[in-house]
Structure 1
Amino acid sequence: MLTGKPPVELVGQVRKALSLGKLASVLDSKASEWPTFVATQLVNIGLRLCEPNSKDRPELTPSIVRELEQLHAPKERVVPSFYLCPILLEIMHDPQIAEDGFTYEGESIRSWFRNRHETSPMTNLKLSSLHLTRNHGLRLAIQDWLCKS
């Protein structure tokens, strides 16, 4: 998809171009300009999925899907650190404030609690409560920032 070339020996050609810093030489110019960061990320994901040994290939898990979703947002724009979940280091879609005062991705902090953690992921101090509060202001700011991307 990225190269427009037949698949015969393509993995080797792409790996070589990537290692030499000449990825643009194998990209399909007819498919328009590929942002360097996006093309590199797609190539890295694609190469992982092309591993000959099935044990070395990742499954199409939510983390792979999230990696692909993240490519929609231009990476040249620096993501404000407070938009990132401190556990996942990914942009939050459901920011939740925990008792430690930090904001986390909702599913991430709930998973932390389900795994019987009663401490802050950031400070390692015992939390007085496992109650979460939606961070509506931050959610709206993140949505606005993503729309402007």
Structure 2
Amino acid sequence: MGTSNRERRAAKQRRRDERRGVPAGGPPPPDVGRGLPAETLRRLLRRAGVDLAAGREDALTELRHLLAEHLARRRAEILTACDEVVAGVAAPAAADLPDGLLAALDGSPHPVSTWADAAGVTTEDATLATVRLLAATTD
């Protein structure tokens, strides 16, 4: 008798796992989902802030295109990255930023998340406000 369908599928899965470096019989790798890794997202936010500060208005458009597919499904990760890049940033004296975000900078450990959740701000708007804040504080 030949091997069953189930046995063939299991063997195929073992070969895939072996190629991916998953130890035999070990737990499957964590599902990180689709989207940008956190470090890449933080770098993109910082770079967009520097570009915007340098007068490149198209930096926001480029960022929107890049994040378009990630915004809805990855809200928590994106807001966490926003919080991390503004950690330790003082509110700029004169900036065209939402008052709620500026107020959250004065003591909240998660200023962007706190402001976005309290004000019902979309992920895209919170991301763009973060980039504007970074641009306003770039020397």
- Shorter-chain TM-score tier: under 0.3
Structure holding more helix per residue: 2
Normalised by the size of structure 2, how large is the TM-score?
0.22
Instruction: Give the structure with higher Rg (CA).
Output: 2
Normalised by the size of structure 1, how large is the TM-score?
0.21
Higher relative contact order (CA 8 A, sep 6+): 2
